[in-house]
Amino acid sequence: MNKFVWNKMKHDVKVEKLNDQHKMLFDILDKLYNAMEDKSDKNALAKVIDELILYSKEHLMTEEALLEKYNYPGIAQQKEQHKIFIEKVQHFREEFVTNNNFMLYFNMAVFLKNWIANHIQEIDRLYSDFLNERGVY
Ligand SMILES: [Fe+2]
Ligand SMILES: [Fe+2]
């Protein structure tokens, strides 16, 4: 069962490509959580974390490029927050290598999920009308 689910009411940013990427982030986090619950081996888990890092970078770059293209006024805040998120995910990766505390991993995965959900809801959704008004859906 998916625990981390994209919710239209809360997370719709009204731009299809970005919604798809946000859904994918939820899916990867969900995969990570389930793999931890199943006590998958460390290599398999490390692969999912790497997937999360790669995909997060891809999404954040796509989002920033689109916002920059249209001179979105909130771009600095977006970039700053994205930088923090990547640092958090990379910190997770480091903890994962040096630490064997599964409880800690669970907490970190939930933290990342909450972080990205809040960011989408409170910060990303601010660009919806701005982009829609410029013909980006
Ligand atoms: Fe986003
Ligand atoms: Fe964002």
- Distance, CA 124 to ligand 2 centroid (Å)? 5
Exposure string for 10-42, b = 16+ CB within 10 A, e = fewer: ebbbebeebbebbebbbebbbbbbbbbeeebee
Residue 1 has pLDDT above 70, yes or no: no
Phi/psi at 38 (5° precision): -75, 0
Tens digits of residue pLDDT in 40-57: 888 999 999 999 999 999
Tens digits of residue pLDDT in 76-97: 999 999 999 999 999 999 998 8
pLDDT for 40 equals 82
What's the rounded mean pLDDT across residues 17-24? 98
Whether the CA torsion 63, 68, 69, 72 is positive or negative: it is positive
What predicted TM-score, i.e. pTM, was given to this entire model?
0.95
Distance CA 73, CA 84 (A): 19
What's the rounded mean pLDDT across residues 26-32? 94
Residue 59 has pLDDT above 90, yes or no: yes
Whether the CA torsion 123, 129, 133, 137 is positive or negative: it is positive
CB 115 within 8 A of CB 85: yes
- Distance, CA 63 to ligand 2 centroid (Å)? 6
| pLDDT bracket for residue 2 (50, 70, 90) | confident
Question: Which CATH topology does 14-133 take?
Answer: Four Helix Bundle (Hemerythrin (Met), subunit A) (1.20.120)
What's the rounded mean pLDDT across residues 104-118? 93
Distance CA 5, CA 21 (A): 13
Distance CA 71, CA 90 (A): 29
- Distance, CA 78 to ligand 1 centroid (Å)? 9
Whether the CA torsion 71, 80, 120, 28 is positive or negative: it is positive
- Distance, CA 3 to ligand 1 centroid (Å)? 19
Tell how far CA 23 is from the center of its chain: 9
Tell me, what amino acid is at 13? V
The domains of the chain are located at 14-133
